[in-house]
């Protein structure tokens, strides 16, 4: 365990003591959000992302140690565990190195070498490959092993069998494999070709004649090629100059050997027949693993800002779920998301139906005093947007709209959760409710949907699903806990994402408040069935109780720090009543005048915790999303044909991928800013931009036929 902590300390460049504290906290069952927020003194204020990286590496290194022990025992049971092998196992840094060391001792299927050993040719192979030189001629030595009864009918067959044995031994040599693996990773070229002589046009046409050094492959290229191969459009290989591969293997096994030509032949056979096919599979697997990790990382990077988009709170909102055949589904919800009214209109079925649709929508707007319209970005979105703009004009303004990403809305509307939340509504109308609520509070609504269905990644269905789910669930958990949750209004879907709660305890929280009324203190949460002291410790700071008489229950201050908060206020000349009345504007300055470190000691809390307490007290119940740029709400519509090269536009980043960003500029089709058109050179667009960012772009080119809009963030001229 000490070695794991030291290694984590080196990799993360954090003090050993801090790493040791985090490992202990994780082993004690504390969640990452709780550790990140309420145990800062123990880990030096690592953020949740770094803590998750530490937790993942901890799991990997523990699995590595477990596998080393399994291999050690397996080899020892064969009586072949030497001091040298023990040392090599102990120093192995990756699972691949451990498996290379275990390879010669792993039970094998029946091979050419196995059959040669059964014929008694093992001693001949050993004789012909012995170091030191000298000895008899190979032909002469092989004659002693010719035995038709054992299946060795000639000298040539004896030499062939001995060569097969030696080739397998060379192939199993961990040093040889490591050297050739390094060469493949440095010098090999990945080649993709069209699978057919006369290939059809497809999305894979860029890869019909593709070559790229393995060391320069981009993740999106690997994933695209893998999918093209699976779908039968591409043939793929990993090419390395055969002679250079032979030289690498020969250098590892030939020098100082007797009967050099025999060993050399066996080394070439081992390289071509056994090692190179294996290396090609390994390289493809490694490229895929790296691409998967990169894509998952990109998905997580996109998901966080999408979930953290500023809400449009407290406004009556109309949700429009566009459609052609089934019409446009309409739902009006109040400022809390409660459904007020629903309808179905058919603006795409003709002029008369469009007029009827506008009249119906106008009636709903006036009846419920609708202020915002949320329009899903799916099928018929463009026509629905035009209808909404015409509606706004006829009503004389006072109303605006926003195009909302509707990915996953249909998944939600058909789910058991939607049936439970909206039992009186038809499945199709539920999606309109979800779209309206997404504008009001993106986080509260999107947590009801499988993160993979939200649609801000690339090739997410090709990813290792368990790994993807774990990463995305971590992002959702971090976002929910960063914002905080109202214990009296949150849905079970939102509550189960709170640190320390699960699906069962979340439902129990809802059931308790339904049976006993709203929570009036945080401590009351301890009365919820199955929500014990440990779960309370983890969740309490993230649950807000606005109905509580104690203002501290409205904040992100943890109950364990209430005494420290009161001492802080007293030392600075304030009371809890001053916090409730918003009369503590100088709290931060007064605390800094006394010295944060000294004041922390007086209050019985660490300086980082005290700084967080000050921030919470100055804005009780603050929502960090309110500090972000508000979403763009529109009153007019543009079409792709209205766009001209050089036109300057404001837009919202909708997706960040390896080769650029997609930006919503108010037309039906998002535009692409290629990575080369970003304001400055970066390795990945995520270094500059996040989903939800409001940006200025200029139009480069519009291809209406292919529905492509090319944009730049570099000001023309």
Alpha-helical segments (H) within 92-173: 95-102, 112-118, 122-128, 138-143, 155-171
pLDDT for the residue 527: 96
- Residue 188: Cβ within 10 Å count: 22
pLDDT in tens, 273-301: 999 999 999 999 999 999 999 889 888 88
Whole-angstrom Cα distance, residue 649 to residue 698? Answer: 6
Q: Which of 265, 365, 248, 385 is nearest to 316 (CA)?
A: 365
Averaged pLDDT for residues 598-627: 91
pLDDT in tens, 119-169: 999 999 988 887 654 556 888 889 999 999 899 999 999 999 999 999 999
Averaged pLDDT for residues 53-72: 95
The pTM for the full model equals 0.80
Residue 115 has which token pair?
Answer: 């059959």
Whole-angstrom Cα distance, residue 620 to residue 574? Answer: 15
pLDDT beyond 60 at 374:
yes
Q: Is the pLDDT higher at 20 or at 107?
A: 20
* Number of helices and strands in the chain (H, E): 31, 15
pLDDT for the residue 633: 77
pLDDT for the residue 135: 58
Which residue ranges form the domains of the chain, and what is each CATH number?
Answer: 2-105 (1.10.10.650), 119-298 (1.10.3500.10), 317-440 (3.30.420.140), 640-712 (2.40.50.140)
> Could you tell me whether strands 339-345 and 328-333 are parallel, antiparallel, or unpaired per DSSP bridges?
antiparallel
pLDDT beyond 70 at 255:
no
Average pLDDT score over the chain? 91
pLDDT for the residue 260: 75
The residue to which tokens 């986080």 are assigned: 443
Q: Is the pLDDT higher at 77 or at 377?
A: 77
Q: How confident is the model at residue 404 (pLDDT cuts 50, 70, 90)?
A: confident
Averaged pLDDT for residues 535-557: 96
Q: Which of 458, 459, 460, 434 is nearest to 447 (CA)?
A: 434
Whole-angstrom Cα distance, residue 26 to residue 20? Answer: 10
pLDDT for the residue 201: 85
pLDDT beyond 70 at 33:
yes
pLDDT for the residue 163: 94
pLDDT in tens, 184-207: 999 999 999 999 988 888 889 999
Q: How confident is the model at residue 1 (pLDDT cuts 50, 70, 90)?
A: low
Averaged pLDDT for residues 631-651: 80
User: Across 296-432, where does the E strand assignment appear?
Assistant: 317-321, 328-333, 339-345, 372-376, 400-404
- Residue 276: Cβ within 10 Å count: 21
pLDDT beyond 70 at 457:
no
């Amino acid at each position: 365990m000490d070695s794991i902590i030291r290694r984590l300390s080196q990799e993360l460049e954090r003090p050993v003591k801090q790493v040791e504290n985090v490992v202990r906290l994780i082993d004690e069952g504390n969640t990452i959000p709780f550790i990140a927020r309420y145990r800062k003194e123990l880990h030096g204020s690592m953020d949740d992302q770094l803590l998750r990286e530490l937790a993942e590496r901890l799991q990997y290194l523990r699995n590595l140690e477990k596998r080393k022990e399994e291999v050690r025992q397996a080899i020892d049971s064969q009586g072949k565990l030497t001091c040298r092998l023990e040392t090599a196992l102990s120093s192995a840094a990756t699972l691949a190195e451990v498996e290379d060391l275990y390879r010669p001792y792993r039970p094998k299927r029946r091979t050419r070498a196995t059959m040669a050993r059964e014929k008694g040719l093992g001693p001949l192979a050993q004789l012909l490959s012995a170091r030191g030189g000298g000895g008899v001629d190979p032909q002469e030595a092989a004659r002693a092993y010719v035995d038709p009864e054992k299946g060795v009918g000639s000298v040539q067959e004896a030499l062939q069998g001995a060569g097969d044995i030696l080739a397998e031994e060379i192939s199993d040599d961990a040093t040889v494999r490591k050297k050739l693996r390094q060469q493949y990773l440095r010098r090999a070229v990945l080649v993709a070709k069209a699978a057919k002589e006369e290939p059809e046009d497809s999305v894979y046409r860029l890869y019909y004649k593709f070559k790229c050094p393995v060391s320069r492959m981009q993740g999106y290229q690997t994933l695209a090629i893998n999918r093209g191969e699976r779908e039968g459009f591409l043939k793929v290989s990993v090419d390395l100059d055969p002679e250079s591969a032979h030289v690498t293997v020969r250098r590892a096994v030939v020098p100082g050997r007797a009967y050099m030509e025999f060993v050399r032949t066996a080394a070439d056979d081992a390289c071509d027949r056994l090692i190179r096919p294996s290396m090609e599979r390994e390289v493809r697997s490694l490229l895929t693993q790296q691409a998967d990790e990169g894509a998952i990382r990109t998905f997580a990077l996109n998901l966080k800002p999408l979930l953290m988009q500023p809400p449009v709170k407290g406004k009556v909102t109309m949700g429009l779920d566009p459609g052609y055949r089934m019409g446009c589904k309409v739902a009006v919800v109040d400022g809390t998301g409660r459904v007020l009214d629903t309808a179905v209109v058919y603006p795409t079925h003709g002029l008369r139906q469009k007029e009827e649709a506008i009249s119906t929508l106008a009636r709903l707007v006036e009846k419920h005093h609708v202020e915002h319209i949320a329009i899903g970005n799916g099928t018929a979105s463009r026509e629905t947007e035009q209808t909404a703009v015409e509606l706004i004009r006829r009503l004389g303004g006072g109303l605006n709209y926003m195009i909302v990403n509707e990915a996953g809305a249909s998944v939600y509307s058909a789910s058991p959760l939607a049936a439970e939340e909206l039992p009186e509504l038809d499945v199709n109308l539920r999606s309109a409710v979800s779209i309206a609520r997404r504008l009001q509070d993106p986080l509260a609504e999107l947590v009801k949907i499988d993160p993979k269905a939200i649609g801000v990644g690339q090739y997410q269905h090709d990813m290792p699903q368990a790994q993807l789910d774990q990463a995305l669930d971590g992002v959702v958990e971090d976002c929910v806990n960063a914002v905080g949750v109202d214990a009296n209004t949150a849905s079970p879907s939102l509550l189960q994402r709170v640190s320390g709660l699960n699906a069962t305890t979340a439902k129990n929280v809802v059931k308790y408040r339904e049976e006993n009324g709203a929570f009036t203190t945080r401590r009351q949460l301890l009365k919820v069935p199955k929500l014990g002291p440990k779960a309370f410790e983890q969740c309490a700071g993230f649950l807000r109780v606005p109905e509580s008489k104690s203002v501290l229950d409205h904040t992100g201050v943890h109950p364990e720090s209430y005494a420290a908060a009161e001492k802080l206020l007293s030392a600075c000349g304030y009371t809890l009543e001053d916090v409730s009345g918003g009369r503590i504007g100088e709290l931060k300055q007064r605390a800094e005048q006394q010295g944060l470190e000294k004041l922390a000691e007086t209050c019985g809390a660490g300086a980082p915790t005290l700084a967080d307490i000050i921030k919470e007290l100055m804005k009780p119940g603050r929502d960090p999303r309110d500090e972000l740029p508000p979403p763009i709400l529109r009153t007019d519509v543009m079409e792709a044909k209205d766009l001209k090269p050089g036109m300057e536009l404001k837009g919202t980043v909708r997706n960040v991928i390896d080769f650029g960003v997609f930006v919503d500029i108010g037309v039906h089709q998002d535009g692409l800013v290629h990575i080369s058109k970003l304001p400055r050179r970066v390795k990945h667009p995520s270094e500059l931009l996040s989903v939800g960012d409001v940006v200025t772009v200029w139009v480069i080119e519009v291809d209406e036929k292919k529905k492509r809009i090319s944009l730049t963030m570099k000001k023309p001229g």
